[in-house]
Amino acid sequence: MEVKGGEIRVPKPSNEVLEVKKRFYTAFKIKGTIGAVDCTHIGIVAPSSTDPSNPLCMYMNRKGFYSINVEAVCDHRLVFTAINARFPGSYHDSGIWTTSPTLVHLRTHRSQCDNWLLGDQGYPLEPWLLTPVAEPSNAKEVTFNTLHEIA
């Protein structure tokens, strides 16, 4: 995926997708991966508390400071390919994901479900989103979680 003019662009030609997957595998050893998604809090100055449609408390995050919770997708080069900066700091990653343009795109292109993103435990497991195994019970699951954590 790549952002061009504010739009998400998933590599379309099969050779481009294969190249991204190959490079992601070379870097992080997880097959089929086209990117990684996560959110981060970007600190802001406290917004005006006089706007009833945008209450101040919406921007206070669980870490105790005012922020915008920004969802970002990066590729194997660790280059941002999609950014979603529409949510105040009180929103959880999984809540942002439910309306993410990236999710909408992946749902629309279900035929490409052998291409997926990596997400942390704050995201749901989906056909296009791999998350860590919650309670690994064998060596393969432990290895997957270790590789997932590195990526």
- pLDDT of 42: 96
- Only one residue has tokens 């979680």, namely 145
- Assign residue 29 a region (left: φ > 0; alpha: ψ between -120 and 50; beta: otherwise): left
pLDDT tens per residue, range 87-120: 999 999 999 999 999 898 888 876 556 788 999 9
pLDDT tens per residue, range 14-24: 777 788 889 98
- pLDDT of 38: 95
- Confidence (pTM): 0.82
